[in-house]
Amino acid sequence: MIIPGVPVALQRKYEPVARIVAIVAGVLLAGSAYLPWAYSGDALDDVSYLGGPSFLQFVILGFGLGLTALMVCSIRFSQGIGRFRIGWIRGAKALATGALIAMVVIVAAISFELGGTINVMYGGWIATVLALLAFVATRFMITELDPDLNTAKTPAWLGILAIALIMLVVLFTAYYALDQSDPGTFVTFGIYAGTVVVVLLRTGAMGWLTSVSSKHRRVLILSAFIVAFLFPFTQGGSQANMSIATQVLIFAATAMGLNIVVGLAGLLDLGYIAFLGAGAFVAAMLSESAFATIGWHPPFIVTMLISGCVSATLGLIIGSPTLRVSGDYLAIITLAFGEIFRVAMINLDGTDGPDLTHGSNGIPGVPGLNLFGFDFSEEHTILGFQLGMYSNYYFVLLVLVAVVILIFSRLNNSRIGRGWVAIREDEKAAEAMGVNVFGLKLFAFASGAFLAGVAGSIKAHHDISVTPDQYIFLESAFLLAAVVLGGMGTVLGVLIGATLLRMMPEKLRFVNEYRLMIFGLLLVVMMRFRPEGLIASERRQLEFHDEDEQLAERIEEERHDAGEAEGVPAGTEEVTR
């Protein structure tokens, strides 16, 4: 990296000195974790002890040691190890940047929580100065090594072990993040986690992990399901944490349905929350609530299917006359549909229309689910672990998300999915090649709406009450942001995006007035530096980085290797295409 305004010759001259400074700063930064950072233990996770680091201080210790190791490797293995070129310096820069941001946030949190910077002890200032010194030193390193670990020949046992370790880290990260009630600790830990991800990306390790995961996809899916299943057992019966977790799963299942509409078919839908609301209202009206407006109370399985079908019917009704337009016009129409749905639910109060929803009061008192004699509203003890109401809903939603992922994956890999992608890329060209454009667009709208309606039927029992004000445009915007942020057309990306956008507002309530502004800024930064999303598909990577010849060659080699592994002769894929 070349620093603007600084001659390259000057950077090259001081680069050896900068390496040594960065190594020394990394060692001292690790040692600063044993110093007190605050006068009182009331700030963060008690960083006031001398010689007794807290968890946050231990992470800074790890950052310091990691920075030192990467810098030593950049000197010792300046040309890489063997035939791999590893981005040691890129990783070191990311670690130094993350450490500096984390220390600034820590100092600000201590000052805010204890009442002034005077409460920051010498250890906190020393760690901040060392992080700044490491940051400046790494900026003088202009040697950029392109990480390329994707073609590494990895033994099967090592790949499986790496997947298992990643899943354990994910489980611990989710447990620790949800367990934090202190805002400063949560934000700092989020910066730590984000820095680790950036380091993996910059060093090329993330590409290697992606390659390993694709080779052992079944192991990855099984490990992810086991980790998700074990998550409630790590919460100690906490209702608050499990409530957030269930909201994340509801949001994720709904976002997966929107991913079909936006990510695959390329239809910009700004009123998608209406389908979730339709499913929730249908479930509430058919429930055994004292305020239910329909006298028929079928089993929940039947109610869930009816909710999905009603939402799909709404999708067909709104889609039939409007899907002949596209782009901005379709976005405006769907935005209007979302508002029409909310106003219509308010008017179904018995005065302006039939009494189906009780107007703005909605339908309260929706009872908990009862499936096959299992009461979801009661606490249960399994293997000595206490599981509350939200834990029960969590397991049901976990099954729902698994089914939604299965449906999405099958559709994505089918002829229908290829038709959707063709429509998204060039609707006129797809129509010229014989693709039933209108039929596939309508099917995308209806199938996405069906999945949202099913999720809404569970949400009604989870939230206990259903009101029109729960389904406003802002919720549609968050759903769309989750799809775009995570990576359109991918499963893992949407799950990550939904998790971030649903969990962050719950943990950032201390900045309630500014959290939307913070989200907006983060999205702007994200779209500037990684427009394809956190987890991008190969096609999206090539769309946004078409000038990256190395990326195109690597993707083509992976496709070629996959074709040979399946017994397809080289070049057959292109001919078939």
Give the pLDDT band (50/70/90) at residue 566.
very low
pLDDT of residue 11: 64
Distance CA 188, CA 44 (A): 9
Calculate ∠ Cα 246-483-415, nearest 5°: 110
Q: Tell me the pLDDT tens digit for each residue of 277-316.
A: 999 999 999 988 888 888 888 888 999 999 999 999 999 9
Distance CA 558, CA 419 (A): 23
Give the best-scoring range by mean pLDDT among 80-94, 479-493, 557-571.
479-493
Indicate whether 155 pLDDT > 70. Answer: yes
Give the best-scoring range by mean pLDDT among 2-16, 100-114, 546-560.
100-114
Contacts of 188 (CB under 8 A, 6+ apart): 44, 56, 102, 105, 106, 109
Better-predicted residue by pLDDT, 193 or 207 = 193
Distance CA 210, CA 216 (A): 10
DSSP string, 129-156: HHHHHHHHHHHT---------TT----H
Q: Tell me the pLDDT tens digit for each residue of 252-268.
A: 889 888 888 888 888 88
CB 331 within 8 A of CB 460: no
Q: Which residues pair with 375 in a beta bridge?
A: 370
> Which of 55, 71, 75 minimizes the C-alpha distance to 23?
71
Distance CA 148, CA 83 (A): 9
Going 69 to 72 to 78 to 81, the CA torsion angle's sign is negative
CB 20 within 8 A of CB 58: no
pLDDT of residue 533: 76
Distance CA 83, CA 152 (A): 9
Q: How far apart are the first and last CA of the chain?
A: 40
Contacts of 38 (CB under 8 A, 6+ apart): 44, 47, 48, 110, 114, 119, 120, 121, 124
Give the pLDDT band (50/70/90) at residue 100.
very high
Query: How distant, in Å, are the alpha carbons of 40, 317, 343, 348, 528 from that of 32?
Result: 17, 63, 58, 63, 35
Helical (H) or strand (E) element with 50 = none
Query: How distant, in Å, are the alpha carbons of 1, 80, 143, 203, 486 from that of 206?
Result: 21, 17, 21, 8, 16
Lowest mean pLDDT among 38-47, 153-162, 167-176, 300-309: 153-162
Distance CA 254, CA 76 (A): 50
DSSP string, 19-45: HHHHHHHHHHHHHGGGS--BSSTTSTT
Give the pLDDT band (50/70/90) at residue 552.
low
Lowest mean pLDDT among 96-105, 109-118, 135-144, 481-490: 135-144
Give the pLDDT band (50/70/90) at residue 208.
confident
Distance CA 70, CA 506 (A): 36
DSSP string, 492-514: HHHHHHHHHHHHHHHHTGGGTTT
Specify the residue for token string 């305020």: 291
Q: Tell me the pLDDT tens digit for each residue of 28-44.
A: 999 999 999 998 888 88
Average pLDDT over residues 126-148: 79
CB 404 within 8 A of CB 253: yes
Give the pLDDT band (50/70/90) at residue 131.
very high
> Can you tell me whether residue 366 is helix, strand or coil?
coil
DSSP string, 65-93: HHHHHHHHHHHHTTT-BTTB---HHHHHH
Give the pLDDT band (50/70/90) at residue 540.
low
Q: Tell me the pLDDT tens digit for each residue of 371-386.
A: 777 777 777 777 777 7
Calculate ∠ Cα 324-329-333, nearest 5°: 85
> Can you tell me whether residue 57 is helix, strand or coil?
helix
Average pLDDT over residues 39-62: 88
